[in-house]
Amino acid sequence: MKHLTPTLLLALIATLCIHSCAPAEGWTTEERTLINSAVYSRMRVTKTDNTADSLLLRTKSKPLSHGQLQSAEFGRLVASMIETVNDEENSGVGIAAPQVGVLRRMVVVQRFDKQGHPFEVFVNPVIKAYGEEKRLGGEGCLSVPGLRGEVERASVIDLEWRDAVTFELRSERIEGFTAVIFQHEIDHLDGILYTDRATTLTPR
Ligand SMILES: [Zn+2]
């Protein structure tokens, strides 16, 4: 160590710190606290009847990095989102990360177009193209209590996303009700609620 000047030593410590002391691969302290407080259990759903939640639900989410996918927090967040969307008292067919208070671009969607209707996770999803055919269908939202609405959505979409393990780019053409769920959930990542697009809204 005798060749290390104090400046070099500081630089070395700083470099080591980037790799070992950085706040868990890009998560903010608030995100880590929230995710780690609900390990493998339901998280509180952000709702429009709460002012702070309303502002959060209107905020654009940030993309996830490959490093974040490799962190323990990511696995915990996925597990907790699946628990949350399956809450018997407020269950849904999809959920976006902002709905559990995390402003990151990921959604969990129930694949009605697959056998057994599994819930799957999609990182940084983007709708690359919309089919011309549109259909009007009923929608509700875990974050919008007491309402249902009719929304016109594309029947077919071309989806692109990052694999949750390898971070590789994936793409798929998705049709029918599952395509509607993706359009609803990906809207959440841009701060858009189905009520913005609804042609009619009714109490439920
Ligand atoms: Zn929703």
Is 4 inside a domain boundary? no
**Can you give the CATH number for the domain in which 192 is found?**
3.90.45.10
Residue 100 confidence (pLDDT): 97
Is 9 inside a domain boundary? no
**Number of structural domains the chain divides into:** 1
| Helix extents (H) in the chain | 6-20, 29-36, 51-57, 66-69, 72-85, 176-189, 194-197
Considering the candidates 31, 73, 139, 185, report the single residue annotated as catalytic.
185
Is 20 inside a domain boundary? no
pLDDT band with cut points at 50, 70 and 90 for residue 25 = confident
Is 85 inside a domain boundary? yes
Ligand 1: centre distance to CA 186 (Å) = 9
Ligand 1: centre distance to CA 64 (Å) = 20
Q: Is the confidence at residue 40, as pLDDT, over 70?
A: no
Annotated catalytic residue 25: no
Write out pLDDT tens, residues 66-89: 999 999 999 999 999 999 999 988
| Ion ligand 1, residue ranges at CB < 5 A | 141
Ligand 1: centre distance to CA 179 (Å) = 14
DSSP E strands in 28-187: the ranges are 94-96, 106-110, 119-130, 134-141, 144-154, 156-162, 169-175
Is 199 inside a domain boundary? yes
Q: Is the confidence at residue 17, as pLDDT, over 90?
A: no
Report field, pTM of the whole predicted structure over 0.75 = yes
The full length of the chain comes to 204
Q: Which helix (H) or strand (E) holds 198?
A: strand 198-203
Is 116 inside a domain boundary? yes
Ligand 1: centre distance to CA 139 (Å) = 9
Residue 106 confidence (pLDDT): 98
Write out pLDDT tens, residues 121-167: 999 999 999 999 999 999 999 999 999 999 999 999 999 999 999 99
Per-residue CA distances from 181 to 7, 36, 111, 125 (Å): 55, 27, 9, 13
Which range marks the domain in which residue 170 is found?
A: 29-203
Is 8 inside a domain boundary? no
Is 18 inside a domain boundary? no
Ligand 1: centre distance to CA 170 (Å) = 24
- Cβ neighbours, 10 Å, residue 160: 15
